[in-house]
Structure 1
Amino acid sequence: MSATPVRLQLSATTRGARGKPPRHFVDLTPQERVEAVTALGEKPFRAKQLATHYFTHLTNDPEKMTDLPKASRDVLTGDLFPQLLTATRTLTADGGTTVKTLYHLFDDAKVESVLMRYANRTTLCVSSQAGCGLACSFCATGQLGLTRNLSTAEIVEQVREAARALAAGEVPGGATRLTNVVFMGMGEPLANYKAVMGTVRRLVAPAPDGLGMSARNVTVSTVGMVPAMDKLAGEGIPVTLALSLHAPDDELRSELVPVNTRWDVDDALDSARRYFDATGRRVSIEYALIRDVNDHAWRADLLGEKLAARGTGWVHCNPIPLNPTPGSRWTASDPAVEREFVARLRAHGIPTTIRDTRGSDIDGACGQLAAEEDQ
C-alpha cells in the first residue's frame, strides 16, 4: 500500500457557471407555502390543496389538480413547481426491479438515483450532491469532484418520482409504495446538511405537509463528518445513521477516506456512539471489503475491538463486497476472506451482515454512481 498522502478535497471543482435552483413549493415550510399562494392572489387553503397533490397524490401536473380552477392551477404550478429534474436515461437490472435513473438538473448538472424493489420493501438511494468533494479513492463519485449541492426540492423530487413510479405500477411486481430512503447516492449528505435535513423533514412530516414516512426507514450516511454527526444527533428525528468507515486504523483510512485526516477513526466512532446514546437508534458501520487492502484478519479484529470497547447493542456492521469502478486498481475480497472477516467481527460480539448489493451490472451499486451519459 502506497504511503503517499491523499489531499483532502472539500471545495467544489468548478464545472462551468452554476446558479441557485429556482424556488420550489417543496423548499417552503407550510406557513411559507400559504404566504406564497396568497402572494399570487389565491386563497390560503390552496397551499394545502397543492401539498395534497404533491405529497399524497405524488403529482405536480396541473391537469390532474381538478379540484382547483384551471386559471389557478396554471398560475400556482407555473410559479411554485418549476421543473428541477429531467430524466435522461434509465437502466434496469434484476428483472426490472432495480432501476437507475440519470437526471439532468436545471443547470445541466447530473445526478443519479437507484430504486430497488425487494420482496418486503422498496428502497430508493438518493443523491444529495452532484459529484462529491471528499475524494474517497475507491469511489467513482468521489473521483468526479464536487459540482454543487442539491436543494431540498431537487432531492425530494427524486423521492417523489420514485414513489410515483411505484404507485403507478411501473416497476415489476404491481403497484406499491416507497418504504425506505437511503442517502447513499452521489455526494456526502452531511456536507449538504441544510438541504438534507430539509429533505428528511419533508419525508417524515405527516400528510399533507410531507410524505409521512417513518424516520426509522430513512438512512443518512456519512464518511465521518463529526460536527455534523453530533448536530444530527440533536435534531430529534431518529433516522438511521450509517458511518462509512472502510478501515479501523488511521494510516489506511486516511488514504482511503481523506476526511480521516480531519476526524480520525476514534473521533468518528465516538460520535457514532453519541448518536446512539441520543437517539436510541443503532448505528450501521459500512465497510467496503477490498482485496489485500483492508480485508486482513487483524483489521477485522481491530475493528471488532474498537466497536466492542464502546459498548454493546449500539452498532451493526455491514461489510460490502467492493463494487468495480472504471480504471480502479482494486477488486473485491475473496469470498473465503470475506467469510473470515465476518466471523472475526461476530466473535467480538458485533452483529454483522454482508450487504446485499444490487445493480452492479448497471453501475448502480455502492460507489459506482458517476452520472455517465453512455454505458
Structure 2
Amino acid sequence: MLLERPSDDTLYAALLARDAAYDGYAYVAVRTTGIFCRLTCPARKPKRAHVIFFETTAECLEAGFRPCLRCRPLSTGREPEPAVSALIDLLEQEPERRWGERDLIERGYDPSTVRRQFKRRFGVSFLELARLRRLGQAAETLTAGTSVIDAQLDAGYESGSGFRAAITRLFGAAPKHLRTRDLLKADWIDTPIGPMLAIADRLALHLLEFADRPALPAEIRKIQENTRSAIAIGRCAPIDQIATELDSYFAGQTARFDTRLAAHGTPFQRSVWERLRAMAPGETLSYGALARDLGRPAAIRAIAQANGANQIAIVIPCHRIIGADGSLTGYGGGLWRKRWLLRHENRMNSRASEGGTSHEPDRESPELRQPA
C-alpha cells in the first residue's frame, strides 16, 4: 500500500491542477522538449500524448530527459522541513494517538501544507502515517498475546470488521494469525542520494534498499514469505545502528558496517556477498574477476544473479562490480547512484592516503548525478 503509484490519468489530472499533494510522488517528462518537471511546475502544460510519468528523478535522467530550470526537480534538500521533524517526534512520543486535522490546527500547522510535505517525503500524508503507526502498535500487542478486541480498541477502531480489514491489508494476515507470527519493523532512512527503506527484526537487518527501487515491493513480499513475519512501521536496534553507520559513511568518515545481517540467500550467494564485503572502498571488480577469485571461473552468470539478489544495498557493496571493459553495469538503485557511490569512496580513499582529517560530507551538484 505504501508503494502504490497513482494511475497515469490521475497524475496527468494532478499536473493540470498543479496539485501539491502529488509533488515529489511522481515526475512528468515531456517527449517534445526532452525536459522533466515536478507536477507543480508553473510552465505551460503539455498535451497528454506528449508526456510520460516516472516515479523518480533518476528514472527521468536515465531515460535521457533534462531537469526543468523553472521548477528544479533535482533540488531536494536532505533535511526535512521543521514541521515534518516536529510531527514525527510527536508521533513517536504518542504512537497510539488518533490524530486529526484539528490536532494539527491547534498546534499551529496548516493541514494542507503538512499533507503536502509528508506526501513529498514519505508518499503518504501525516494522518495516514499516524494510522499506519497505530496499526503497527496493534500488531505488536497482538504478537505479544493481547486479545484481538483489546488491540482493536487500543488502535482506536470502533468497528471490528474495519480493524480486521486494515490489519489484513497492511500485514498480509488477519489479526488472530498475527498472534503466532514474529514482527519485523520497517522505517525510512534519509541519505544524500535518496531515502532508503530498512527492514529488520530485533536481532538483524533483513533489507536495506533505495525506496524508489522498482523491485522493492517484490523484495518485501519475499521477506514476508521467507520469514513468515508481518511488517510494521517502526524502529528497532538494527535499524538505529545502520542509520548511524550510514551517516558516518556518507560523511566520509568510514565505510565499515557492523550491523548484523540476516542470513538470506543460498550458500553460493552468501559466498559472493562475503567477497563483496571484503572489498576495499572504491575497489572494483568485474563479474569474471570475481568468479576467478571464488574459484568458479565459469560461474559468471550465477555471480551476476547473486549480485542482483542482494537486498542489502551499500553494506553488501554490489555497486563495486563493473563491466569487464571498465564501464558501469546495471545497478538496482540506478547507474547515477552507482557512479556517485564509487566517486564518494574514491574521495574517501584520497583523503585517507593524504592523511586528511576532513569529515565533510560530499556535496556533489545535481549535474554529477546525471548519466553520461
Return the structure number with greater helix share.
2
- Fold shared per TM-score above 0.5: no
TM-score tier (shorter): under 0.3
The structure that is strand-richer by fraction is 1
TM-score (norm 2): 0.25
Structure 1 length-normalised TM: 0.25
Higher-RCO chain (CA-CA 8 Å, sequence separation at least 6): 1
